[in-house]
Copies of this chain bind each other. A is one copy, B any other.
Amino acid sequence: MNILIDKSSMIPIHQQLYQQISDRILSGLMKEGERLPSIRSMSESLTLSPMTIVKVYQQLEDHGLIERAHGKGTFVKRKDLLKNTQKDDLSNPYQWQISISDYLSRSRFRYNPSLSAGYSGYNLSIASLNHQLLPTKRILKEAYSLLEKNLDSLGKYGPVQGDLSFRETAAQYLKNKGIVTSAQNILVTSGAQQGISLIAHTFVGPGDIVIMEAPTYPGAIDIFKSRGATILTVPVDTEGMRTDLLLSLCDKYSPKLIYTIPRFHNPTGYSMSQRRKIELLAIAHHNNCMIIEDDPWSEITYSTIKAKPLKSMDTLGHIIYLKSFSKIIGPGYRVCAMVAEGSILDRLIAAKANLDSGAPLLTQKAIIPFLESNAMVQYLRQLNLTLSYRRDKMIKVLKANAPTGVTWTIPEGGVVIWVTLPKHFDIDSLFYRSVADHNISFLPGTVCYANEPEFNHLRLCFSYLDEDELEICILSLCRLIRDMMEHQGNHSPLPMI
């Protein structure tokens, strides 16, 4: 266990320690039955007072994550309600492996089957298009005609930076979105997730300050936390990231990187105003800091207003722009175009060479014909129409059935709605009951906060289920929320698993 305590951080030390140990237990990296270091050895190795350790262990015990066995030590022992996790066999031959320390700190998702794409119930948690909406057949057919004429092209190692023809296609595609770039400034990554991870591995390490929106995309939180970064958060309102608060943070601290989703923000759906965009760029410039602009789904829009990406305004190479194609043409290809310039780009390409020698040629070449075709334009038009009906349906059912005190965003694009329940509502209990009693999974808002979470939000995705299924789910959820609001206080908070 490599615990990193940043004594210069504004986050209290006991909180940093609690966070890191609980992250490891909740995400399953520390196993049931695993022994924690003694108070003395933990205090010595971290040069912290023993009382701090005692306090944190007590807190972990109070929250049902560890248990003290008198005279034997302190062990991971979770009081979860979902008992379907596999027990480790303590007599297993791989027991020695527990002594191998690692550099992971948080990777929450994989361990919760109800939040995965493979969830068998009603899935409102995964922000992905249903496969029935996707142009897979057309993509494959066109890919095959292209590739069977160019067999040699598949038989060679492609450039680390990505296939040249794909990068040219991507540059043209981005030009249509207002970003003037060229193939030589594009680096192809395996989805936006790898893009963010590549940036973090190249530029972010222990003690570096990363600014994220609160709430934000949980996959990005996991990455920066696993690099040992100190994460500061800035709230989001209807105009996007609160640049006034960002400015005052930057007065005190020197952030190295700002991560933002300016268009149809995940999970709130808000878009950054033009004024805020200008301020954000000015702040980055003044502080010599990088910005990651994650643009998962700006093509999915229900509005006639066309907004250009932040990157279109970037003349000094502050922004690393990520255009993943997974959310718009399907997740089976894992292709993302990253746009960057100068030595930042050079260093990212060098890191990509170490990481995996470059993206597979097959996936890049496979989507070229479709991206270049007129069929893509028609497909997006039809997709937006279909999704706008689903969004409207979800909102209509919410409006008619949600108890007083429940509010939600009405996104102008993207595939999720952010629902806010009355303060002091416990979303994790709702999640548990929703999955256990109704087979409905959603994203508990708690996982979208890098630091102190708010417990009264949930994210609902409307692109995976059809209109009838959406109606059934929202009706059930509204009944469940009403029921829990009426019996508030009867449910003790449960740890999120």
21 contacts between A and B (CB under 8 A): A29-B350, A93-B315, A100-B203, A111-B350, A116-B159, A131-B152, A131-B154, A131-B156, A136-B154, A140-B151, A155-B331, A194-B355, A194-B357, A197-B356, A219-B357, A226-B354, A332-B360, A334-B356, A334-B361, A362-B363, A363-B363
A187 to chain B, nearest CB (A): 11
Instruction: Identify the closest chain B residue to A126 (Cβ).
Output: B157
A140 to chain B, nearest CB (A): 6
Instruction: Identify the closest chain B residue to A195 (Cβ).
Output: B356
Cβ-based interface call for A351 (8 A): yes
A427 to chain B, nearest CB (A): 22
Cβ-based interface call for A27 (8 A): yes
**B-chain residues with CB within 8 Å of residue A346 when the two chains form the complex:** 28-29
Looking at A129, A140, A157, A316, the one whose CB has the most chain B CB atoms below 10 A away is A157
**B-chain residues with CB within 8 Å of residue A366 when the two chains form the complex:** 362
Instruction: Identify the closest chain B residue to A137 (Cβ).
Output: B151
Tally chain A residues at the interface, Cβ within 8 Å: 96
Q: How many copies of this chain sit in the oligomeric assembly? A: 2
Inter-chain contact A350/B131, CB cutoff 8 Å: no
- A353 to B27 CA separation, bound complex (whole angstroms): 12
Chain A, residues 458-482, CB within 8 Å of chain B (1/0): the string is: 0000000000000000000000000
**B-chain residues with CB within 8 Å of residue A313 when the two chains form the complex:** none
- A128 to B155 CA separation, bound complex (whole angstroms): 10
Looking at A92, A111, A331, A350, the one whose CB has the most chain B CB atoms below 10 A away is A350
Cβ-based interface call for A64 (8 A): no
Within 8 A of B (CB), among A110-139: 110-111, 116-118, 126, 128-132, 134, 136-137
Cβ-based interface call for A14 (8 A): no
Inter-chain contact A356/B154, CB cutoff 8 Å: no
**B-chain residues with CB within 8 Å of residue A29 when the two chains form the complex:** 346-347, 350
Instruction: Identify the closest chain B residue to A144 (Cβ).
Output: B144
Inter-chain contact A361/B343, CB cutoff 8 Å: no
Within 8 A of B (CB), among A350-406: 350-351, 353-363, 366
Cβ-based interface call for A342 (8 A): yes
Cβ-based interface call for A103 (8 A): yes
Inter-chain contact B93/A316, CB cutoff 8 Å: yes
**B-chain residues with CB within 8 Å of residue A219 when the two chains form the complex:** 354, 357
A88 to chain B, nearest CB (A): 8
Inter-chain contact B96/A288, CB cutoff 8 Å: yes
Inter-chain contact B97/A201, CB cutoff 8 Å: no
Cβ-based interface call for A47 (8 A): no
- A135 to B190 CA separation, bound complex (whole angstroms): 25
A17 to chain B, nearest CB (A): 19
Inter-chain contact B96/A316, CB cutoff 8 Å: yes
Interface residues of A (CB under 8 A from B): 2, 27-29, 31, 92-104, 107, 109-111, 116-118, 126, 128-132, 134, 136-137, 140-141, 144, 147-148, 151-152, 154-160, 189-191, 193-194, 197, 201-205, 219, 222-223, 226, 256, 288, 290, 315-317, 330-335, 341-344, 346-347, 349-351, 353-363, 366
Choose among B101, B107, B117, B332 the residue that contacts A351 (Cβ–Cβ < 8 A).
Answer: B107
**B-chain residues with CB within 8 Å of residue A117 when the two chains form the complex:** 156-159
**B-chain residues with CB within 8 Å of residue A330 when the two chains form the complex:** 154-155
Instruction: Identify the closest chain B residue to A316 (Cβ).
Output: B93
Inter-chain contact A140/B128, CB cutoff 8 Å: no
Choose among B128, B290, B356 the residue that contacts A193 (Cβ–Cβ < 8 A).
Answer: B356
A204 to chain B, nearest CB (A): 8
**B-chain residues with CB within 8 Å of residue A148 when the two chains form the complex:** 137, 140-141
A-B pairs with lowest CB-CB distance, top 3 = A131-B155, A94-B342, A117-B157
Inter-chain contact B131/A140, CB cutoff 8 Å: no
A346 to chain B, nearest CB (A): 7
Inter-chain contact B356/A103, CB cutoff 8 Å: no
Instruction: Identify the closest chain B residue to A343 (Cβ).
Output: B97
A192 to chain B, nearest CB (A): 9
Choose among B109, B350, B357 the residue that contacts A191 (Cβ–Cβ < 8 A).
Answer: B357
- A189 to B92 CA separation, bound complex (whole angstroms): 26
A215 to chain B, nearest CB (A): 19
Looking at A101, A129, A330, the one whose CB has the most chain B CB atoms below 10 A away is A330
Looking at A97, A104, A154, A349, the one whose CB has the most chain B CB atoms below 10 A away is A97
- A98 to B190 CA separation, bound complex (whole angstroms): 27
Choose among B136, B203, B360 the residue that contacts A151 (Cβ–Cβ < 8 A).
Answer: B136
